[in-house]
Every structure is written in structure tokens, then in C-alpha cells.
Amino acid sequence: MQPQADPFIAPHCHAEIEILYRDEHILVINKPSGLLSLSGKHPLNIDSVHYRLVKDFPGCTLIHRLDLGTSGIMLLAMNKQVNKLLCKQFSERQVSKHYAALLQGSLEADSGLIDCGIAKDVDNFPLMKLCQDTGKPARSKFRVLSRFVQTAADNLFLDDSRAKKRQVTRVEFQPLTGRTHQLRLHSQYLGHPILGCDLYASDEAYFMSTRLMLHATQLGFDHPVSGEIMTIKCNSPF
């Protein structure tokens, strides 16, 4: 029996990929929300960051991925040797990453460290879950940037009927580990899920935004060839 194709079909993403930096060795881009990092198994999910970029940059490969709804900085290698060098930096946790996020409610603490393991949720595959006993170690720093009341004027609502005033906290995350869905789950751990999260947020938090409010704002790494310390920044659109 042939395996069934993935039933999920991503809506077409009309937004363009922005190139933030490139040379003969690396390519750094700003991924729009709603675009897959890699093409999916379903034939209608062929559009992706890699599918688009390989047309202009043959041989380029992804070093890491961002979820469909997450926007922001992604790093690609222009050849296999550079890919190997960059992947080594990621695996050895020599790369620094920062994200901006909008969380539901007013987060009391101004900053802190979330230290809570993450494991596969075998009852709800392919979701993950918080689990200190069986989960892999996962740590994230957070810092509150602002607290505000969301209104219809913020243009984040799916429709006007949901335009109620709600408390929102804008935070900066710095994941110290790289577990699947780490920031989504650690936001849930805080009791303040990311707006627009379709996997772990409550219905109210999900419907507070037209997209996942998570954006990769900064990436720090050593250039794989020159050794230069690279700090790439990309302002959050929200």
C-alpha cells in the first residue's frame, strides 16, 4: 500500500523573500510568514524558501528552518563544504538567535530564564509537549519589551467582531537550545501563548492575530570562510 500524502496544503504565499546579505559562500534572507522552509510531501506544497532560492542560487542549502508561520532571518550555505561548517556551529550551539514575539496577556516578570524540557507528544503526533522527566533539555531567555492593550486599530484581528481590547506583551526571546516548537511551548509554560499560534495556544490567543506573531530578529555566527563575526538583524514587522 502506498503511503498517503500529507493532507495539509499551505495557502499560497504572495510575499517575496528579502535578501539581507550574500556573498559567494553564504546567503541570509528574511523569510515571510506563510512560506514553507522546505517543500512538503504534498505536491501542492512545492513552494518554499528552498524551491524559490535554488532557481537563482543552484546548490544552496538550508542550515536551519523556521516554521510556516514564523518570519525572519534564515541562513543558507552556497555549497556543501560551507553547509558542513555552519551546521557544526549550530550543533555546538555557537550561534546566537533572537526572536520577537507577541504574547497573550500581561506578563508579570520583566525578564527571566525558562528551563523546561520538551518531548514528543506520542498521543498527538507531530506535536511536542513540555516534560521535565522524559523531555530533552530546553532553555530560553526572555525579556519584556513592552506591554500594551490591543485594539482594532492594531490591524491584527481576523475580523471586526473579535476586536475587543486585550492585554498583550511584546517580548524578546533568546533560545539557548534548539528544540522543535521551543518558543511556542515555553510561551505556553509562562502561561502567555504566542498570538496566532495554531498548535498550542487557546482559541482566544489564536484568533487575536492573523498570523503567528513570532519573528527571528537577529542571528549571530562566525563566517564559515573568513572567520568574521557576523551579526545579522531584521526588524520585526509587528
Position 158 scores a pLDDT of 52
6 within 8 A of 41, measured Cβ to Cβ: yes
Which residue in 47, 67, 160, 203 is the catalytic one? Answer: 67
Domains of the chain, CATH where assigned? 18-233 (3.30.2350.10)
Question: Any bridge partners for residue 174, and if so which?
Answer: 141
168: pLDDT confidence band, cut at 50, 70 and 90?
very high
Q: Per-residue pLDDT tens for 54-100?
A: 999 999 999 999 999 999 999 999 999 999 999 999 999 999 999 99
Whether 67 is catalytic: yes
Query: Residue 45 CA to chain centroid, in angstroms?
Result: 19
Please say if the pLDDT value at position 140 is more than 80: yes
- Sorted by sequence, the CB contacts under 8 Å of residue 80 that are 6+ apart come out as 59, 61
Q: Is the pTM of this model over 0.85?
A: yes
Q: What does DSSP say about strands 71-77 and 61-62: parallel, antiparallel, or unpaired?
A: antiparallel
Position 3 scores a pLDDT of 43
